[in-house]
Amino acid sequence: MSHAPRSKLSLHIIINTIGTYLSIGFSLIFVLVLTRMLGRVEYGTLTVLLGVIYIGATILDCGVTTVIYSAIPPLYKGGQATQLDTLIKTILYYQTICATIAVGLLIVLFPFLDSRFLHTNAPPLTYIITALSILGFVWQNTIQNMLMAMGKFFEVNAWFNVSNIVRLIALGIIYIYSSVTIFWIICIFGIVGPGVFLGALLYAYTHRVKGVAEALADRELLMFRHSLTSFLAQQFFNIGMRVDLFVLAYFGLKNALGDYGIAQKIILSIISIVVSITQVLSPEFALVKTKDQMKKLIKRSVAFLLVPTALFLVLTITPGWVFGLVFTHKFTDTPSLTRSLGLVYSIFGLGQILWLSLLYTFKKAHSLLYTNIIFFIIVSVCNLIFIPIYGAHGAPIALFISFVIMSIAQGHILWREYQKLPL
C-alpha cells in the first residue's frame, strides 16, 4: 500500500484548511452584510431558498463524489490521460442530464411546494432563479471534487475565494443602487459565484477541454450499485440535517427561522473545515488493508478532526454580547441556539471517521444507507415533536438524539468489520 507521504498529506490539509478558513471569513462577512440589508422575516425566507439550492445540489451529486475519489486518483497518478478524460466526460454528461431534468421539474412544482410546505411567498421569477442556481452549484461541486482528487487543492481554494470576492463586490453594487432583493441576492450567490469559479478553471484547463469533449461517455464507469447506494445514504443524512429548517417554515415560525438560520450558518462554516479535512483523508481510507494501518490512520484522522471539534465546543462558551456585536440584537435567540448546536455538532466531526471507514475501507455503503435512514426518520419525528413545544430550540434536541443513535449503530458495524482485518 502506498499512502501519500505524511508531510504531503499534512500540506494538503493545511492548504485546504486555510482556504476553508478564508471561505469562512467570507461567509461571516456575507452574514454581517445580509443581516443589515434584510429583516428577520426576509432573512428567514432567504435561508429557506438557499437551503433548497444547497439540498438540491447535494441530491444531484448523483453519487459521483464516491466515483471521483475512488477512480480519479489512480488514473491521474498513473498518467492515463485518455481514460481520465473518458471518466470526466461520463460524470459531467450523465450528471448534467439528471440535473437539468430535476431543475425543470422543480420550476414546475415550486409554486405547489411553496404554498403547502415552504411558505416563502416568493415571486415566480425568484423560484426560477433559485432552481437554476442548483445547476451552478452541481457543476461547481463536481469540478471542485475532480480537481481535489488530483491534488489541486491550492488552485481550487484560490479560485473559490476569488469568486467570494466577486460576490462581495456584487452585494455592494446592489446596495449602492438600492436593489437589495432576495432575487438579486440569490443571483449573486447561485449564478455569479459558481460562474466565476467555473469560468476561471475552464480558462486554466483549456488544454484539457478538447480531450474531454471528444471522449465517449461510458456509464459503466459510474459504478451505479456502489455509488448510488452511497449517494442515497448521503442524501438521507444531508436532508436530515436540514429538515429542521423546513419544519420551522412549515409551522410558520418565521422570526425563529431567521435566528436559527444564522446559528446554522455559523455551524455550517465549521462543518466546511470538517469537509476540507475529509476530502484529503478519503483516498487514504481507500488504501487501508490491515488493522495496524487502520489504527494509525484513525489516530491521524482524530488529530486533524479535533480542530473543528474544538471550534464547535468554543461556541458553547461564547458570550452573548459577541453574537450581538456581530449579528446585531435583532436576532435575539441566535446566541442560545448557536451554543446548543455547537454542543450537538461536536459529535459530528469525529463521527466522520466512521463514515470514511465504512465507505472507503470496508465498502459498506448499504450499512451507511440503513443507519442514515434511521437518522433521517428519528430527526424528522423528533423535530415534529419538539419544535411545536420548544420552537427553534427543539431542533438541537432532535439532532442530538439522532446523532447519538446513528453513531452507536455505525460504531458497532465498524468494530465488527475491523475484527475481520488481518494484523
Out of 31-35, 225-229, 292-296, give the one with best mean pLDDT.
292-296
CB 194 within 8 A of CB 56: no
Closest to 167 measured CA to CA, from 195, 142, 135? 195
- pLDDT of 250 reads 81
- Write the pLDDT tens digit of every residue in 158-179: 999 999 999 999 999 998 888 8
- pLDDT of 324 reads 64
Instruction: Look at 15 and 222; give whichever has higher pLDDT.
Output: 15
Q: Which of 94-98, 210-214, 279-283, 403-407 has the lowest mean pLDDT?
A: 279-283
Is the dihedral angle over the CA atoms 78, 81, 86, 88 positive or is it negative? positive
Q: How far is it, in rounded angstroms, from Cα 23 to Cα 164?
A: 7
Backbone angles phi, psi at 35, to 5 degrees: -70, -20
* Cα 70 to chain centroid, rounded: 19
Q: Which burial class, exposed, middle or buried, applies to 374 when counting CB atoms under 10 A from its CB (0-12, 13-18, 19+)?
A: middle
- pLDDT of 1 reads 43
Residue 403 has pLDDT above 80, yes or no: yes
3-class SS string, the chain: CCCCCHHHHHHHHHHHHHHHHHHHHHHHHHHHHHHHHCCHHHHHHHHHHHHHHHHHHHHCCCCHHHHHHHHHHHHHHCCCHHHHHHHHHHHHHHHHHHHHHHHHHHHHHHHHHHHHHHCCCCCHHHHHHHHHHHHHHHHHHHHHHHHHHCCCHHHHHHHHHHHHHHHHHHHHHHHHCCCCCHHHHHHHHHHHHHHHHHHHHHHHCHHHHHHHHHCCCCHHHHCHHHHHHHHHHHHHHHHHHHHHHHHHHHCCCHHHHHHHHHHHHHHHHHHHHHHHHHHHHHHHHHCCCCHHHHHHHHHHHHHHHHHHHHHHHHHCCCCHHHHHHHHCCCCCCHHHHHHHHHHHHHHHHHHHHHHHHHHHHCCCHHHHHHHHHHHHHHHHHHHHHHHHHHHHHHHHHHHHHHHHHHHHHHHHHHHHHHCCCCC
Angle between helices 224-250 and 254-286 (to 10 degrees): 160
Domain ranges of the chain: 38-222, 229-423
Count, residues in the chain:
423
Out of 219-223, 260-264, 356-360, give the one with best mean pLDDT.
356-360
CA dihedral 248, 258, 271, 273 (to 10 degrees): 170
Q: What percent of the chain clears pLDDT 70, i.e. is strictly above it? A: 95
State the pTM of this model.
0.73
Out of 21-25, 61-65, 292-296, give the one with best mean pLDDT.
292-296
Residue 2 has pLDDT above 50, yes or no: no
- Write the pLDDT tens digit of every residue in 76-100: 878 888 999 999 999 999 999 999 9
CB 153 within 8 A of CB 12: yes
Out of 1-5, 207-211, 221-225, 251-255, give the one with best mean pLDDT.
207-211
